[in-house]
Amino acid sequence: MLDLIESKFTITKENLKRLVAEHYRDEQELRERLRQLGWELLYDPNGNVIGIEQVSTMPIYSALFMLAPYVKSGSYIAFMDETHAIFRYYYEDGEMYVQKGSICFNEVQYVVSDILE
């Protein structure tokens, strides 16, 4: 299982309408189908998708691929797997890419004993 750790995920209202028109009867069908696959879209008051939430312990990650042509470039969803490996799905120009991540530590900022004296 993967844990969602961060996301910046946007589908404009216009692209959402296009997604629904090309694949679903209505927006409710899209929401129901995504929920069955373990995902839920988050909306702003204007009807733009501004996030996505994992709502199942066994989500289907391929569902995120089919959204790629409609997702705003620069969007991403980052995960950590059971081995603590980090990766993210990154969206650019209608494509979804997988990026491997890592936690990186910078140089030492200060010595703790110096601030305790």
> How many Å apart are CA 78 and CA 101, to the nearest integer?
9
- pTM of the predicted model, to two decimals? 0.80
Its domain, for residue 28, covers 3-116
The alpha carbon dihedral of 103, 108, 110, 113 has a sign of positive
List pLDDT tens digits, range 34-56: 999 999 999 999 999 999 999 98
pLDDT on residue 74 = 98
> How many Å apart are CA 33 and CA 39, to the nearest integer?
9
Whether residue 76 has pLDDT greater than 80: yes
Number of domains in the chain: 1
Measured torsion, CA atoms of residues 53, 57, 59, 64, in degrees rounded to the nearest 10:
30
